[in-house]
């Protein structure tokens, strides 16, 4: 019984669905940040109400992974690919959740006068999205060099998070009216940092999948 | 070749290692919160420096899961148990990371005069620990009722987080000197809330493992 081509086909399908899920998650984060910057309340509400497709995809991908393992009992890199898919699926679902968290903080933020023009937060979102896209690309192409680049990009995100924090602190110290909305911007910057963390997790999974080398828990 | 008892033995060993990892993660969070409450700088430093054992266990458990899948090609509930173990391992590693995050915020907090006596934060830690322990217990005993209790406990944690936030906000509005340390307490309360989220993830995995029923993405 030749199950190998069938397995590869199913694996390709799984990868395509993961990419689709990554695209959905990214869109939702992008909308949440856009709604914040443009003070678009309708778009905030849209993000808050719109997590059904990504949640359905999360369940579908998980069940695809279980089926692939049960029916084909893959070995070596194929086995590691499916285990990576299980983990990546979890990471992408959390990114979807973070879009909700950003929208929730955004909703509170829009209830106040704007603290400042938002420059660094959209920049953080761009970096996080780039990391996420590269990490998924690295997964599909089994490209460990690209995965390594994702790990390196995390420092830029971290530096921006610190910068956002310091700047908002000065606003809060000068004017107590800015304390509440500034807190929400700080939380949003942490949520964006966590999207970078999820991209980092995915990149580490890719390196493990390709090389069976565990790069987690080492300085990078 | 009768591999079944061998498999069960290996699975029991895997579960024991996961419990050990859960214990380690809990100890680290407990120390981080104790260090904060008792203003014990040496203990903070100990938490910051002590993540090697949990990280090693994380890698070991992952590799046990890969081996179990490759050598025994388990089906049905056994397959789902190992996939759950992969996910639970990830959740516990993140709980270990959150101990570091709490210690980092604690280190900054101890650089300021105390804002207030800390009551709700240790209470949040107790609830989060209870949830984590029950979730792991539910995993080992395949106890879906206990898993459901974990899902229900999350509301109490959420309510305390909101209470912490509101209370600290009043301090910050009254006295700008409290802004920086209050921010760190708010972040710590969010880190503790996320430990509850990880316990919730584990409980959901347990229900999926036992019943092949996906309770994620439904109101609970």
A198: number of Cβ within 10 Å: 22
B179 contacts A183? CB cut-off 8 A? no
Do the Cβ atoms of A142 and A210 come closer than 8 Å?
A: yes
Nearest CA in chain B to A182: B183
Average pLDDT over residues A135-148: 96
Its ipTM equals 0.90
Q: Find the CB nearest B217 among A59, A65, A179.
A: A59
Cα B184 to Cα B129: distance, rounded to the nearest angstrom: 21
Which residues on chain A are in Cβ contact (under 8 Å) with B214? 59, 62-63
Shortest alpha-carbon distance between residue B217 and chain A (Å): 6
Which residues on chain B are in Cβ contact (under 8 Å) with A214? 59, 62-63
Q: Name the nearest CA neighbour of B69 among A17, A200, A3, A86.
A: A86
Supply the DSSP string of A100-152, one letter for each residue.
HHHHHHHHHHTTS---S---HHHHHHHHHHHHHHHHHHHHHHT-HHHHHHHHH
Which residues on chain A are in Cβ contact (under 8 Å) with B183? 169, 183, 186
Cα B4 to Cα A213: distance, rounded to the nearest angstrom: 29
Q: Evaluate the CA torsion angle B21, B22, B27, B33 in order and state its sign.
A: positive
Cα B142 to Cα B78: distance, rounded to the nearest angstrom: 11
pLDDT tens track for A60-93: 999 999 999 999 989 888 999 999 999 999 999 9
The model's pTM: 0.92
Average pLDDT over residues B64-76: 91
Cα B14 to Cα B2: distance, rounded to the nearest angstrom: 20
Q: Find the CB nearest B173 among A56, A62, A176.
A: A176
Nearest CA in chain A to B190: A187
Q: Mark B67-84 as b/e (b = at least 16 C-beta within 10 Å).
A: ebbeebbbeeebbbbbbb
Mutate to test the interface with A, among B74, B78, B102, B176 (most CBs of A within 10 A): B176
pLDDT tens track for A15-52: 999 999 999 999 999 999 999 999 999 999 999 999 99
pLDDT band of residue B219 (cuts 50, 70, 90) is: very low
A90 contacts B59? CB cut-off 8 A? no
Q: Which residue, chain included where needed, has tokens 């829009």?
A: A110
B158: number of Cβ within 10 Å: 14
Do the Cβ atoms of B183 and A186 come closer than 8 Å?
A: yes
């Amino acid at each position: 019984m030749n199950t190998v081509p069938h397995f590869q086909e199913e694996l390709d399908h799984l990868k395509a669905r993961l990419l689709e899920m990554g695209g959905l998650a990214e869109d939702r984060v992008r909308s949440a940040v856009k709604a914040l910057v443009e003070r678009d309340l309708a778009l905030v509400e849209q993000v808050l109400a719109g997590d059904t497709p990504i949640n359905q995809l999360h369940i579908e991908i998980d069940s695809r992974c279980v089926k692939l393992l049960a029916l084909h009992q893959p070995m070596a890199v194929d086995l590691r690919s499916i285990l990576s898919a299980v983990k990546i699926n979890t990471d992408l679902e959390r990114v979807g959740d973070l879009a909700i968290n950003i929208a929730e903080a955004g909703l509170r933020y829009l209830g106040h006068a704007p603290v400042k023009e938002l420059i660094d937060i959209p920049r953080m979102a761009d970096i996080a999205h780039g990391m996420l896209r590269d990490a998924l690309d690295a997964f599909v192409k089994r490209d460990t060099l690209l995965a390594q680049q994702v790990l390196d990009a995390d420092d830029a995100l971290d530096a921006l998070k610190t910068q956002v924090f310091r700047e908002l602190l000065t606003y809060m110290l000068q004017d107590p009216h800015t304390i509440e909305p500034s807190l929400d911007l700080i939380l949003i910057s942490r949520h964006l940092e966590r999207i970078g963390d999820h991209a980092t997790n995915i990149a580490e999974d890719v390196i493990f999948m390709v090389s069976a080398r565990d790069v987690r828990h080492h300085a990078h």
